[in-house]
Amino acid sequence: MPEHQPLAGRVAVVTGSGRRIGRELAEALARAGAAVVVNARSNAAEADAVVAAIEKAGGKAVACLADVSQADQAERLIATAVERFGRLDILVNNAAIRARREIGDISNEEWRRVVGVILDGSFYLSRAAIPHLAKGGKGRIINIGGATAFTGADAHAHVVAAKAGLSGLTRALATELGRKGITVNMVSPGLVETPADDPKRAAERREHYEMHRIALGRPASPDDIAGAVVAIAGDGLAYLTGQTVHMNGGFYMT
């Protein structure tokens, strides 16, 4: 196996991978040798663009539109990986909705929508993926959390609650699935910025994170997060499970 492709022969599903962090996760896993199922809820153009970029670089990928908050669509997403590539080794639960809203303005519908994508979706996908992940003996579930699940955040009660729930799901599944050879971990980003970010939203996030509290003195880029995910997906960290890896430049230290 080429040293620069430690995931050669493996297959990954990355939810919410049409843009931003999710796109970089998909492309990084592909660079590491994995065939990747790229997922978006409804934006086919974004998903197809990621697939095209992966294929142009010599990788393998396929797009699959699915709303992961719906059990049947989540199951179809997992089935797509197995039908197209013959196996599944890595599930990255990245899909999320991060609407900024004060608690009094969060409708019942919005609460369910946010929790449905972040927490319910991770449950549906993991449940469907487990039989396939167990077959290869090196199954990986990697949940993408967030620093605010540990610090709190203004006007994000639904997001913080869902991400905190994801932390609990990570530990529960790690305990249950270890005997099947499946590791379950959570990568928890802090402030992540891309050139395409909305300037107003970026400024709000910098204010919340208080830049002086970030020990490394800069926001993360998506490839910072992707590096952690690729490492956890491989063999070098095969004994790591049930853990939260805080990728926030020292903003939050346990």
CATH, residue 172: 3.40.50.720
- Which has the minimum average pLDDT: 39-43, 84-88, 197-201? 197-201
Please indicate, yes or no, if residue 182 is contained in any of the structural domains.
yes
Hey, which bits of the chain come out as E strands? 11-14, 35-40, 61-65, 90-93, 140-144, 183-189, 244-247
| pLDDT tens digits, 134-163 | 998 999 999 999 999 999 998 999 999 999
In a domain, 1, yes or no: no
Hey, what are 230's tokens? Answer: 């690729």
Residue 80 lies in a domain: yes
Q: Find the domain containing 72 and state its range.
A: 11-246
Report pLDDT digits (tens) over 210-235: 788 999 999 999 999 999 999 999 99
Question: Quick check: is 2 in a domain?
Answer: no
Number of domains into which the chain is organized: 1
Q: Average pLDDT over the chain, rounded to whole? A: 95
Cα distances from 145 to residues 16, 167, 168, 169, 187, in angstroms, run 13, 7, 11, 11, 6
The pTM of the full predicted model, rounded to 2 decimals, is 0.95
In a domain, 3, yes or no: no
Strand partners, 187: 144, 245
Q: Is residue 6 part of a domain?
A: no
Domain assignment of residue 227, yes or no:
yes
